[in-house]
Amino acid sequence: MRKVSTTSPPKFVIARLDPLLSGLIFWTGRMALILLGSERFETFWTQKKVNAMRHQNTVLHQVLQHVPWTIFDRLVEEHEADKHVRRLTTKSQFVAMLYAQLSGAGGLREIEAGLKSCQTRLYHVGAQPIRRTTLSDANALRPAQVFCDLFSAMLKHVHRGLRRTLAETVYLIDSTSIKLDERSADWARFSAGVCGAKVHVVYDPDADCPIYAQVSAAKVNDITIAQQMPVEPGATYVFDLGYYDYGWWAKLDNAGCRLVTRFKKNTPLTVTEDCEVPENSPVLSDRIGLLPARQTRSRRNPMSNPVREVRVATDTGKILRIFSNDLDSTAERIAELYKRRWAIELFFRWVKQTLKIRHLLGTSENAVRIQIAVALIAFLLLRAAHVCQVVVKSALAFARLIRLHLMNPRRLDELLEPDQPRSCSDSQMALKWT
């Protein structure tokens, strides 16, 4: 047997990697590849004087840092969402649905292809590539309450930091419809050949954030859901004709809330006092009076206290009869409060267009609830991420930049910066012998 000399040094062959790395490597007789330098990846010196490679999280990873994962894990355990799960965890399902909302993916195939193309970057967010059939089954079978409760928990955290005095708190109430097809007829049929769902929201215009949301079939009346909404005593609630119910109004009035809405055309008012209105103002009249003492079927009207009617002329010439139980504020203030209702219409438009909530990924009630809950969570995450940077002022522009750079390793405050060539230390390219 031939003896191998242990004193002779191994032979080294210097080679160059592909242009993506463009660094130097050497190959030993023991088949070891050692990267000496790279022009693509930026390096830095650590506190221990070690030249290391800097890691930059993706934009998606930075957005997900605002998710309360401790609460999420607790909800998954409470609802047993991962029970008997072998392939797709609830966390991976959540990340996939968030990816769909933030990237604007329009279907399950697009989600599958997008996550597969960046699967090496999913490790740091604790997710994995998925198959569209697996995601579809998860949306249909996993409990939607996990995501609804997560949204509620995040709302409490967000609104806690934006709390104001009750006299200044204004909440807008409204709903928006989402059109569905015949595959959702078992739970969302509205009429012959028409199916749809509703998203009912209580919105804080000062915080630019919803504080309550619920999903129902389109045939459910708005006032039915409103009667289930939590009431904050002393706050101001602004809503439209869909919530015309004297009993509910009396409930808010007894809680010390201020109401601002519209009169129906056929609602009479027994005027007890005419108030003066300023000249050259859109306010045409300001009157205090009483609502009818009786409702249909001879029921007593629970809204028996004096109320206010402010008639306002809009820019189009339409005359609005605005109702309020506030007898102390000026007529201009009442009209201004009702005008703020337009903010919730803009919110619904922003959510539908920016988060692509118009493209439903499932047809079952559970899948629709999950997608709407995740879309609202995505809205909160975008708001939280937007606050953490000062470069992009517009929330809409920030959302668009997030979509463009979602899976890129870039800081949130550098979304407007052009790509910069990574620096490379000269010491990396030097082969030193010791």
Region 354-361: mean pLDDT is: 72
Q: Report domain extents, the chain.
A: 13-55+422-429, 59-143+360-414, 147-349
Reading the block at residue 243, the tokens are 């919530």
Reading the block at residue 204, the tokens are 């804080």
The C-alpha angle with vertex 414 and arms to 412 and 420, in degrees rounded to 5, equals 140
Q: Which pLDDT belongs to residue 174?
A: 94
Name the DSSP letter for residue 434: -
Is the Cβ–Cβ distance between 79 and 93 less than 8 Å? no
Q: Which pLDDT belongs to residue 254?
A: 93
251-300 pLDDT per residue, tens? 999 999 999 999 998 889 999 999 988 888 889 999 999 998 877 666 78
The C-alpha angle with vertex 376 and arms to 90 and 166, in degrees rounded to 5, equals 125
Reading the block at residue 29, the tokens are 């007789």
Is the Cβ–Cβ distance between 324 and 258 less than 8 Å? yes
Q: Tokens 């607790």, residue?
A: 74
CA-nearest of 333, 362, 400 to 141 is 362
Helices (DSSP H) in 185-324: which residue ranges? Answer: 185-188, 222-226, 246-254
Q: What DSSP element (H or E) covers 310?
A: strand 307-313
Q: What is the rounded distance in angstroms from the CA atom of residue 209 to the CA atom of residue 386?
A: 13
Region 87-101: mean pLDDT is: 90
pTM: 0.76
Who wins on pLDDT, 156 or 248? 248
What crossing angle do the helices spanning 365-387 and 342-354 adopt, rounded to 10°?
100
303-347 pLDDT per residue, tens? 888 999 999 998 888 899 999 999 999 999 999 999 999 999 988
Region 225-247: mean pLDDT is: 92
Q: What is the rounded distance in angstroms from the CA atom of residue 213 to the CA atom of residue 202?
A: 7
48-88 pLDDT per residue, tens? 555 444 556 888 989 999 999 999 999 999 999 988 888 88
Q: What is the rounded distance in angstroms from the CA atom of residue 74 to the CA atom of residue 81?
A: 10
Question: What architecture (CATH level 2) is domain 147-349?
Answer: Alpha-Beta Complex (3.90)
